[in-house]
Amino acid sequence: LVRKKHVLSRLQDALAWQALPVVQLLAPDERVCVHLIGTLFGMLHTVEDSGALDLLVEVLVRLVVELKSEQYLRCILNESQKELCKATVRSSLPTFTLLGKLADAIPGFADLLVVEHSNLVDHLLMGLMYPNESIKAAVCYLYGKLYSSSVGTERLSAHFEERLGSLFLNTLGCAKTKELQVNCLGLLKELLKSDHFVSILMNNSKTEEESENPDFLEGENPLPLVLKKLLLTRDEMLQAASSHCMAAVLVHSPSRYAPAFIHADVPEFLFECLLCKNEILIWSVYCCLLLLTEERLFFSKCHTVYGIESLVRSLQDVLQMNNMELHKQGLLLFTEILKRQPAEIKLFTNRGVCIEAIDVLMKTVNCPVLEVAVEAVRTVASFLRKDHLSSPPVPYEELQKLLEAVLKRCADLSPPQSSKRHAGDLLFSVSQSHPANRNPGRVPQRQGQFLLNTLESFRNACRLAVEFQGDFMAQENAFTAPNSERKDTLSNFSEFLLRICDSLCIPMVLSYLERAVSLSVLEVFISTLDLLFTVVPHMRNKFSKKLASSSFIQLTLELKARFCSVQSNPVLNQTCSSFLCNLCLNLYSATEKRRTSQEGKSGEREKFIHLQEMSELLQKGLPQLNYTIAESLLLLSETPEPFSLDQSLCSHQHCFTLLLYFAYTLGDRFVPDAELFLAMRNFLLSAQDRGDCPPPHILRAALYLLAVCQDKGKALELRSLCTIRRILDNLPDLSLVYVHCPLLLKFFLRYPELMGRFGHQVLQLWFSWEDSKQTEPEEPDFGMSDQLNSGSPLLAILKSNSSILLILLDLVCSSSEEVAWKVLMTLRTFLEINEDVLVCDLLRSRFLQILQQLLVKSSSASLQANRNLPVLLSLLFLVQLRSKGMRELDSTDFKLLHQVSNLCGKCRPRDTGLLQPSLNFLYWSLHQTTPCSQQRAVAVLLSNVSLLELLQKVLECTWLWSPPSGPAYLSSEDALLCSGWLLFASLLLYQHRYNTEVRTTL
């Protein structure tokens, strides 16, 4: 035996290191080769030493491989057949081993065996039934090689179905040695490549009813139970091979085969296998579980609830490994579980596991490998679902950190922005990025996918916040200590979403859109903005104003025109239309808030009705408004056919007018003013021509747009003015179309045709609104146009058209005390800064009427409470100061002198607000006139006993009031004393000069 082993060892070395000389020596003589092969083959069945047998098998295989002739393969097959026929199964192990090694080493050997020596397969069956696991292992190895070839699979198909299938499953189920288990799994792996064999192994002849019944697994060693048994071993290699085989079954049809594994509770043990460090095993389990997620039974049997903790812990461990593919596969499995988990079955029953999951997601989001980060953000998007996070307390702070990490990682991938841009700045790049012109290589695809996943995550977070608004338990942390500040609340989370959208999300998307245009990114982005309107309801109006002032109306219109025309991209079209609709309704609500606060409940009702009408109009018209800006402007001038029932043109005109109105009120003037002015004029003429009166909110928008573009357009001709006047005459109240804007006021007062008919109402509305915008404790509006915040625009209009003064004076008589006071203050400011205006005669007569009206209506007590009267008297004195030189006093002057002196007689010494301007007026009336008029004026004043008594009381205060302690600043009391002494001195002087009669003694 020793000599034989020595010779075999030398022959093995020669074939290994000097194969060519050996082959050259043996090949020329076939008889020598056949004799050598026969001798070696014969020794297989005479030598019992295992080491010698291994040497023999290796030498035979190497020799046949080097000789490269089918003749010698047939020789071995013939000898093998003879040996198997005459020998017992017990002694057939070397033959089975040799055949297996040959099939492994020579590609065509398996086909040769199956085609020309198919009767050998019967002996394989006998070996598989023999109670020796070494023989069974050798047979399974050979079977594995036979079924690995397409010829073998085809020729042995019936053999497997009729004879081998059940025997093989029994062998696998009863295997004790690792060698047999491994070789069985190797054969199984080859068999599972064929859908036919999988069907046989899974006993697919069972009906669906039987498949739904777990009792069908009680048959003899069915495959799921056999593989489950291998999972229960502590051998990680066998566990990996078992899970790999399960995946190989499921990949053929998860819906068909998954129920059998689920009913066998295989998922439970797969999750247990994740708590290891073996990368191959973890990968195999991930793949298998991923396929099981396609079956609803996997979730309804609560396997995910049982295994989620193991999965999260596994992901934590996997992150320590340097295997990026494993990271991605684990995240993919986590994503599918999060996405497919039924809402009625809570996945995270333990808050600690939920926090651990967030921690894992944060680490994977920050992974330096972009592909892993992309998959992680997809997982975050699936994680942000109400049913995953609804168990109180909701971890809002952790969610904020997670979202911030996602957005910052995405922002890091984008090139830095030079400055904060508006959406309108992107329109050129959008127009150049039509699919025909786009260069897909400019922006890496992964970055675009990362941005899309990030936006989906952020949108889901916003949707989560909205859904939690109806859940009281989710609004605040129920476990916050009493009297402590609550940070972990829905309110803080919602405000965080709005804040980070403004600071990170919007700039990031706009930066991306400068380089490429993705319709899916646009759709998610616009829908997210739309959703944010409801995330923080009390911030909705401010957010809407900021979006509109940043050109988002213009951007969305351009997107619709470019990508949604001819009924293309319906999802994007609907998303953009919904966003524009909600944006406009929010802006309308913001502008109507002050209007309804003034009008009370009736105003609320009207606002609700108009809001409903506008909502219906926008919802119906916006999806069809897919025109360019230039095309939409042309539409405004079109007139529908007579008797046409199609209202689409009218709907388009109204929608576009509203969009322009809201954009322009926030400073986004994206249409040339001259073109817009002409379009609005034509729109109103067209409406009048067809006998159509636009709704108040449309008419308000049209008038506003005409007003703001007036300076760049030509003056309206008579026909247009008459049209506007007729339309406005049909309105029940001009306030329905009023916008508190200086340019609209200027527009109405510019044209005599409009000022004569509507000037009084417009000025009344102007003063009613002038200070109301300060009544609400709001912050300054986002992006508000300077047009709405200018100081005193009426003063400039008054200077160019002094006839408006008459309307203002009428307002003093006809308006409320509040409005009258604002008018008088405006007039006083106007007279103080415009000294060259000669309006004295015009104003004196009107002041007399106003003063008479006030004195008739008021008693002494009410006069002192009337805050308009001191302003009126100050105005009267200012008008008097504007008169240059000496002049005769006329009847109006004497009447004013009489009224003011009577008014003084009704006052008390402490009524400084009334007395100061009154005494100044009387004093100046005495000095700014001719001697003849002066004598009459002195007589009028000295005949007024109540005035003289009042003057005496005022002068007596000279010694009663304390002198000023500070420097030369004159208090109101001191000023009144000065005016009193001046008037008294003048009366003494002129009484002595004209020897005027005095009815009382001072």
**pLDDT higher than threshold 50 for residue 433:** no
pLDDT band at 606, cuts 50/70/90? confident
Query: Quick one: 325 and 206 in the same domain?
Result: yes
- Alpha carbon dihedral 559, 564, 566, 571, in 10-degree steps, equals -170
Query: Quick one: 555 and 497 in the same domain?
Result: no
Query: Quick one: 456 and 602 in the same domain?
Result: no
* DSSP conformational letter for 551: T
Task: Give Cα separations from 457 to 451, 522, 543 (angstroms).
Answer: 10, 14, 21
**pLDDT higher than threshold 60 for residue 484:** no
pLDDT digits over 348-389, tens only?
988 899 999 999 999 999 999 999 999 999 999 999 999 998
Q: Quote the pTM value.
A: 0.81
What is the rounded distance in angstroms from the CA atom of residue 660 to the CA atom of residue 838?
Answer: 42
Query: Quick one: 399 and 325 in the same domain?
Result: no
Query: Quick one: 365 and 309 in the same domain?
Result: no
Residue 59 inside a domain? The answer is no
The mean predicted confidence, pLDDT, of the chain is 85
CATH number at residue 246: 1.25.10.10
pLDDT digits over 86-138, tens only?
878 888 899 999 999 999 999 888 999 998 888 888 899 999 999 999 999 99
Chain centroid to Cα 430, Å, comes to 20
pLDDT digits over 538-578, tens only?
999 999 999 999 999 999 999 999 999 888 999 999 999 99
For the record, the structure tokens of 791 come out as 């100081």
The predicted model gives 29-39 an average pLDDT of: 81
**pLDDT higher than threshold 90 for residue 989:** yes
Domain-ending residue, one of 329, 347, 365: 347
Q: How many CA atoms lie within 13 A of 242 on its CB side?
A: 27
Query: Quick one: 315 and 257 in the same domain?
Result: yes
pLDDT of residue 757: 93
Please state the φ and ψ torsions of residue 402, each to the nearest 5 degrees: -65, -50
Sequence-distant (6+) residues with CB within 8 A of 708 are: 664, 669, 673, 741, 743, 744, 787
Question: Exposed/middle/buried for 451, CB within 10 Å: 0-12, 13-18, 19+?
Answer: buried
Residue 703 inside a domain? The answer is yes
The predicted model gives 294-303 an average pLDDT of: 94
Domain residues for the domain of 426 are 352-475+488-518
Residue 481 inside a domain? The answer is no
Residue 642 inside a domain? The answer is yes
Residue 39 inside a domain? The answer is no
pLDDT band at 788, cuts 50/70/90? very low
Domain-ending residue, one of 690, 716, 739: 739
Query: Quick one: 548 and 645 in the same domain?
Result: yes
The predicted model gives 752-762 an average pLDDT of: 93
Residue 173 inside a domain? The answer is no
Query: Quick one: 694 and 561 in the same domain?
Result: yes
* Peptide bond connecting 393 to the previous residue in cis, omega within 30 degrees of 0: yes
Residue 163 inside a domain? The answer is no
Query: Quick one: 566 and 513 in the same domain?
Result: no
Domain-ending residue, one of 297, 315, 347: 347
Greatest mean pLDDT among 83-92, 244-253, 437-446: 244-253
* Beta partners for residue 183, in sequence order: none
- Alpha carbon dihedral 878, 883, 886, 887, in 10-degree steps, equals -100
Query: Quick one: 511 and 648 in the same domain?
Result: no
Query: Quick one: 433 and 549 in the same domain?
Result: no
Query: Quick one: 343 and 209 in the same domain?
Result: yes
The size of the chain, in residues, is 1002
Residue 177 inside a domain? The answer is no
pLDDT band at 861, cuts 50/70/90? low
pLDDT of residue 790: 40
What is the rounded distance in angstroms from the CA atom of residue 406 to the CA atom of residue 626?
Answer: 34
The number of distinct structural domains making up the chain is: 4
